[in-house]
Structure 1
Amino acid sequence: MTLTTETVDRSTSTYEVATAIETYQLRKVYRTGFWLNRKVESLKECTLQVYEGETFGLLGLNGAGKTTLLKTLLGIVKPTAGKGLLLGKPLGDRSIKQKIGYLPENPYFYDFLTGWELLEYTAGLFEIPRSIQKQRIPALLEMVGLAQSAAKKKQLRQYSKGMVQRVGMAQALINDPDLVFLDEPMSGLDPLGRKQMRDLIVSLGDRGKTVFFNSHVLTEVEQICSRVGILAQGELICCGTLSELLTNEDRYYYVSGRGGDRDILSRWIEKIDYRDDIWTGKIYGEPQEFMATLRLMDAELISLQQGRASLEEFFMEQMELRGIRSSS
């Protein structure tokens, strides 16, 4: 395999975008049972492309194969079949380790170290000079909300789950990676922590980093991601931008206005609601004929906004179509 590029149309310009992650029919089969005589297919011929500089969210229920895919990309797990590239190199190539950051779903660190010492230790693994560490470590602790002297000097055994998640994010960024893998980065965080993590992931995208993360928090994914993919029972069932995936064939619009004949409006507007002299509701199809009807009634249109399904609605619809229920 060779590194490929895709022509991507963004607004009025066309860009040649290299792929940061590329897989072709990636497959992983585990053997289970006392005699290892039972096979479980965790990944089923997964073909995927993630482009440089984008934030990609992988969605799926527990047991869908998300973590297996991520660990296979990182070289922690070897694929049973198929091929893949990270930053142009085959999966497992050691030369790209310096360019990758990783936050596991349940990070476990040496709990007798302080947050500062953990980052020093991780920086040492990457052979980062001390002069750079002195600048980067406090900047990272500030970035993840652990800059307080009490937090950075406290042993990790005294950290809450949310604090461990924060310092885990800092260690994932210690080498200033080009490609960042995050497995459930919002896990254990309170609402303020989730917002800070979301802002941090957005800032990574603004700096041109490629971010690949798994998450159950669909509302967060909808706010952060350039593209998303859905994994179900080891199979990548759909992949694309939110506008591509959430565009409904039965186009509808949210409308509001005032005046007009109530009987006629009720034929057009689904679940019409009146507040004083203002009506609101939803219409289907193209809006031109509706707007012409308003003019004939001498009614005023206040707003018209195209609607689309939420990512959560789309996700649940995909699960229902395949008869898949949560195993958790």
Structure 2
Amino acid sequence: MSDNVIETIGLSKQYDGKGGCKQITLQVPRGSVFGFLGQNGAGKSTFVRTMLGLLHPTAGSATMLGHPIGSVESRRKVGYLPELFRYPDWLTGRQLLKHHGEICGLSKSQRDRVIGEVVEVVGLGGRVDERIRGYSKGMQQRIGLACALLSDPELIFLDEPTSALDPIGRKEVRELIARLRDQGKTIFLNSHLLSEMESVCDYVGIIHRSELVTSGEWRKLSAVKPQVEITIEQATADWHAHLPFVTDQRLLKEREGQATWLVTLDQEGRVPVLLQELVASGAAVHEVVRKQQSLEEVFLYWVQQKERETHVANH
């Protein structure tokens, strides 16, 4: 069994040679949360619909759960919550889930048991017998999540899953995603809400103007060299002048004789050497904090890098 639940090679779906997604090559590891990040219109939803067989690719190839996309086998253990969906609003939540259970091939006893489980998981336990027309946007999002989970899928596609939810609802969805990952499931998230993705994603792919810019463990995608915030006392203003491994430094604040600096190092593992040199020079070190770039900073770096490359190529 492959360690990847999704593998694509040059996958494209374009419309008259434009838009959509173009030449997407990526791997999604099993049991991970993979965030597919991009601005609205970048091609995220087109990629997902192509993977699910709802659109036919114009180029490239892909497998999902070890089977070629477009085959029944590739979709058998897959759940999907689309970004824009409308269910028959005259149905109750339970009736909708029963219909979905029938489509999934669940027996009546299985349906009753599973429906009871998923409505509790998504937080609709007390409202499942109300008609969907009376649901708020957040409740409609929850019933959509319940439909996606009904078949106990191994791979779950969630397209902007928190877009209609309030802060409490978004927190609950993040916690649900973490629980699903802990159960060994793989979650593929489409989103432009980077702050929502940062705490749950293990891996990301960044798509910009239909093309994949980069992918991998997002905390390793930063092109910025390692940085620390260090608070010191009794140090000269040019304490860094004789330290060649300090490639940049910026004074952030001074207070009561203490100075806090943002220090950029040339490579990992330099912090102990930095501390030794400071102490040897007579400085007192009060605090050292490793600075981790945010997902938004990582995203903006790679998008801007792509824009610069495109500008150079066109001029």
Normalised by the length of structure 1, the TM-score is 0.84
| Distance (Å, rounded) in 1 between the aligned partners of 2:255 and 2:220 | 34
* Offset, 1:111: 0.8
- 1:191 alignment partner in structure 2: 167
Letter matched to residue 187 of structure 2: V
| More moved, 65-74 vs 297-306 | 297-306
Kept in 1, the 8 Å contact 2:155–2:186? The answer is yes
**1:139 Cα deviation from its structure 2 partner:** 1.8
* Alpha-carbon displacement from aligned partner over 1:296-316 (angstroms, at most 9, x marks no partner): 354332332332321111212
RMSD: 2.1
The Cα offsets for residues 77-103 of structure 1, whole Å up to 9 and x where unpaired, read as 000111111111111111343311000
Tell me which of 233, 255, 277 is aligned to 2:230: 255
The 3-state SS of whatever aligns with 2:199 is: helix
Aligned to 2:263: 283
CA distance in 1, matches of 2:71, 2:278: 64
Q: Give the residue type in structure 1 aligned to 2:250.
A: E
Would you say the 8 A contact 2:36–2:44 is kept in 1? yes
* 1:84 and 2:62 matched: yes
Distance in 2 (CA, whole Å) between partners of 1:260 and 1:78 is 66
Task: Give me the whole-angstrom Cα distance separating, in 1, the residues matched to 2:214 and 2:110.
Answer: 42
1:141–1:278 distance in 2 versus 1, CA, 3 Å: farther
Residue 246 in structure 1 maps to residue 218 in structure 2: no
Alpha-carbon distance in 1 for matches of 2:275, 2:73? 61
Extract unaligned runs of 5+ from structure 2.
309-315
Query: Does 2:45 match 1:67?
Result: yes
Three-state SS of the structure 2 residue aligned to 1:281 is strand
Counterpart in the other structure of 2:285:
301
1:294 CA displacement: 2.8
> What secondary structure does 1:62 align onto?
coil
Task: Determine if the alignment matches structure 1 residue 114 to structure 2 residue 92.
Answer: yes
Residue by residue over 1:271-320, the C-alpha shift from the partner in whole angstroms, topping out at 9 and shown as x without a partner, is 24234455423112244554234323543323323323211112122222
Write the distance in 1 (CA, Å) between the matches of 2:5 and 2:279.
52
Q: CA deviation at 1:198?
A: 0.4
Question: Where in structure 1 are there 5+ consecutive unaligned residues?
Answer: 6-17, 32-38
Written as runs of structure 1 = structure 2, the 5 A alignment for 1:96-245 is: 96-148=74-126, 151-245=127-221
Conserved? CA contact 1:260–1:297, under 8 Å: no
How far the C-alpha of 1:130 sits from its partner, in A, is 1.9
- Report how far residue 163 of structure 1 moved: 0.8
Q: Which amino acid aligns with 1:95?
A: E
- Describe the shift of the 1:75–1:265 C-alpha distance in structure 2 as closer, same or farther (beyond 3 A): same
Change (3 A) 1:61 1:43: same
Shift of 1:232: 1.0
Question: 2 CA distance for matches of 1:46 and 1:292?
Answer: 47
- Once the two structures are overlaid, the 10-residue window that deviates more, 279-288 or 50-59, is 279-288
Q: 1:289 to 1:88 in 2, by over 3 A?
A: closer
Amino acid corresponding to residue 198 of structure 1 in structure 2: R
Kindly, what percent of the aligned residue pairs are identical? 37
Q: Matches of 2:149 and 2:172 in 1, distance apart? A: 15
1:271 to 2:251 alignment: yes
Secondary structure, counterpart of 1:152 in structure 2: coil
Partner deviation per Cα, 1:44-73 (whole Å, 9 max, x = no partner): 211111121111100011111100000000
Is this contact kept in 2: 1:266–1:272, CA < 8 A? Answer: no
CA distance in 1, matches of 2:271, 2:304: 31
Work out the number of aligned pairs and report it: 298
Contact map agreement 1:205 1:211 (CA 8 A) in 2: yes
Aligned partner of 1:15 in structure 2 is none
**Distance in 2 (alpha carbons) for counterparts of 1:215 and 1:241:** 17
How far has the Cα of 1:244 moved from its partner? Answer: 1.7
Instruction: Decide whether the 8 Å contact of 1:140 with 1:174 is kept in 2.
Output: yes
Offset of residue 240 of structure 1: 0.7
The answer to whether 1:23 aligns with 2:8 is: yes
User: Equivalent residue for 1:320?
Assistant: 304
